Amino acid sequence: MPIWNPWHGCHKISAGCMHCYVYRRDASVGRDASAVAKTGDFDLPLRRDRHREYKLQPGEGTVFTCMTSDFFLEEADPWRPACWQMMRQRPDLDFAIITKRIHRFMDCIPPDWGEGYPNVSIYCTAENQEMADARLPLYLTLPIRHKHICHEPMLGPINIEPYLASGQIEYVLCGGESGPGARPCRYEWILSTREQCVRYGVRFHFKQTGAVFIKDGKVYHIPRKLQQSQAARAGIDYAGE
């Protein structure tokens, strides 16, 4: 999975941010995760090797963008236009942007956005029912070609049927929380979201169990390296219609 982090650092804005892995990793090396700065990979989509081939090659998978920050962070406003330009220059790549700041979307799009770039997917994070109901109604009004919902970390049962019923959502991803102090994720929450997706023919992916996973009343403490493989073993991903 290619990752492009044009800048690093962020600010916590909702419950899902409490145990942010970026803050945890930065603290371990004495770095302030709230300090926002461009990275050395800012121009990664246009970077070439000594043979003049792009370092990010088509076919390597979706390029997950700004995974150590938020693409719509206020401090990044001066840098974002150049990133949109790079996405335009690489129509052979698919870019995925996961955000908790969908409320800033219309202030951050380029002049030629129209109904959305065909190669850009926007994931709206909804970690609990409160955030689902705060963010998703707005999300459905926005000009985005590929709309995805991200329940990660999933902090409770979430009803997204009104939003799936719109026919606009292509994909839903669920996952538990990792790291020290991780809040539990219950299997019944995951299954409920899957059932909702199946009813509306929307693709569903169970990404990871999280560190504290509750199934059939039993609490499992799962090492980080096994959280994705244990989720895969559940065999509940749904390809959609």
* 195-223 confidence digits (pLDDT tens): 999 999 999 999 999 999 999 999 999 99
The whole domain housing 39 covers 1-120
Same domain, 111 and 133: no
Same domain, 111 and 141: no
What digits encode the pLDDT tens for the residues 136-175?
999 999 999 999 999 999 999 999 999 999 999 999 999 9
Same domain, 104 and 166: no
- As a whole number, mean pLDDT of residues 67-89 equals 98
* Best CA proximity match to 160, nearest among 186, 122, 193, 190: 193
Computed over every residue of the chain, the mean pLDDT equals: 97
Binned at pLDDT 50, 70 and 90, residue 46 comes out as very high
Alpha-carbon span 109 to 234, nearest angstrom: 38
Alpha-carbon span 183 to 226, nearest angstrom: 17
Same domain, 94 and 134: no
Binned at pLDDT 50, 70 and 90, residue 240 comes out as very high
Same domain, 109 and 166: no
Same domain, 15 and 62: yes
- As a whole number, mean pLDDT of residues 178-206 equals 97
What digits encode the pLDDT tens for the residues 14-28?
999 999 999 999 999
Same domain, 22 and 104: yes
Domain endpoint, select from 101, 120, 139: 120
Domain endpoint, select from 120, 146, 175: 120
Same domain, 37 and 100: yes
**8 Å CB contact between 104 and 134:** no
Is the confidence at residue 115, as pLDDT, over 90?
yes
Give me the number of domains the chain comprises: 2
Same domain, 8 and 58: yes
pLDDT of residue 1: 86
Q: Output the pTM of the full model.
A: 0.96
Same domain, 49 and 116: yes
Domain endpoint, select from 69, 99, 120: 120
What digits encode the pLDDT tens for the residues 150-160?
999 999 999 99
Same domain, 131 and 63: no
Same domain, 101 and 133: no
